[in-house]
Amino acid sequence: MSDLPPAVRRTIMTIFDNAFRNKKENLAKLEIMLRNHLNPLENGVCVRNQVLDCNKVPMSFTKSGNDDQSACNACLNRRRPCVRLIRRNGAVHLALYPLHVDYRAGASWKDLDFWIRRDDVA
Ligand SMILES: [Zn+2]
């Protein structure tokens, strides 16, 4: 994330933050997720699924050839960043997952279109 161009990073963070700003309930749920160190590979939900949909619908990747290293169906459909908790070197991090290559519109990883689906990309 920190390697991304500032404008792209800002846009992704703004979309992500909007889900939590002025919504104490959502923020509290995210804090619980972080505190419990839920691992998406263990519980199969991304932050959006867990917090915004108020349920624990497992992520689905049928639109991305079942590639679970790409953004989940729900984030893809709603044009949101797919953010999950991952564990690395013993610490828990928020990780941003890229769109499946079919939805990137040829963008490179430094472009917003690599991470959030454009309106005109089916
Ligand atoms: Zn997702």
CA of 50 to the centre of ligand 1 (A): 9
Kind and range of the H or E run holding 83: strand 82-88
CA of 90 to the centre of ligand 1 (A): 23
CA of 59 to the centre of ligand 1 (A): 7
What CA–CA distance (Å, rounded) separates 40 from 38?
6
CA of 44 to the centre of ligand 1 (A): 10
Contact (Cβ atoms closer than 8 angstroms) between residue 97 and residue 71: yes
Contact (Cβ atoms closer than 8 angstroms) between residue 33 and residue 47: yes
Break the chain into its structural domains and give their ranges: 6-114
Backbone phi, psi, residue 5, to 5°: -60, 145
Q: Is the pLDDT of residue 15 over 90?
A: no
Q: What is the pLDDT of residues 30-79, one digit of tens each?
A: 777 777 665 544 556 788 776 766 556 678 899 999 999 999 998 999 89
CA of 70 to the centre of ligand 1 (A): 9
CA of 75 to the centre of ligand 1 (A): 4
Closest C-alpha among 93, 72, 86, 83 to residue 20:
83
Cα of first residue to Cα of last residue in the chain, in angstroms, is: 25
Instruction: Write the CB contacts of 53 (distance below 8 Å, at least 6 apart in sequence).
Output: 74
Sequence-ordered alpha helix ranges (H) in the chain: 6-18, 24-36, 40-43, 47, 73-78
Q: What is the pLDDT of residues 78-107, one digit of tens each?
A: 898 998 877 778 777 788 999 999 999 999
pLDDT for the residue numbered 28 = 78
CA of 48 to the centre of ligand 1 (A): 6
Residue predicted with more confidence, 16 or 112: 112
Buried b (16+ CB within 10 A) or exposed e, 83-93: bbbeeeeeebe
CA of 89 to the centre of ligand 1 (A): 23
